[in-house]
Amino acid sequence: MTTLSIFHQSQPDEARTVMTDPGAIGDALARHGVRFEQWPTRDLPADASQEQILEAYSEEVARLKQECGFQTADVISLNPDNPQKEAFRQKFLDEHTHSEDEVRFFVRGQGLFYLHFGDQVYALLCQQNDLISVPDGTRHWFDMGPEPQFTCIRLFTNPEGWVASFTGEDIASRLPRYEGLAGVAG
């Protein structure tokens, strides 16, 4: 279940608010300029190729490209048997920003986005069919967990893809990781 947990940065051990209603989650995130949507499920084989996935969601991807000026879309997938899973996890665990919106649509699996707004941190556990668009300049990080299992469509305005600017803050190390929050969902 998609879950939004809101923490005060001075009390990182206890969420002040936990939401599971998609409408309430969307409203809470929209106040900070974050786009949250849930797209309909498409019937895809478990081993669907990037081309099959992009074709299945072509209408939604085309709409976002037109609305937001995205130039490229691709698919990223990670499974627990990937020998580099820990290195991939570490790459995204520190707070950073981007000079473009970070957009992810979860075709399968789940992952945890942390969004840092002032003295609050919003931890959004995204699930299959969730779309999140984190506005450029927003301080955030991502935790895929120790046994990642997800497939996401990514959209970019920069053809170079994912480029991060790390803040050097240690806030990410003070909040519960995926292992502690993924259980909130269910």
Q: Residue 70: how many CA atoms within 13 Å on its side-chain side?
A: 23
Please, which residues bridge with residue 36 across strands? Answer: 132
116 is in an annotated binding site: no
102 is in an annotated binding site: yes
What single DSSP character describes residue 57?
T
Residue 150: other Cβ atoms inside 10 A: 20
Which of 35, 84, 82 is closest to 60 using CA atoms? 35
Q: Would you list which residues are annotated within the binding site?
A: 96, 98, 102, 140
Q: Cite the annotated binding site for Fe(2+) by residue number.
A: 96, 98, 102, 140
Query: Which amino acids are annotated as binding site for Ni(2+), given as ranges?
Result: 96, 98, 102, 140
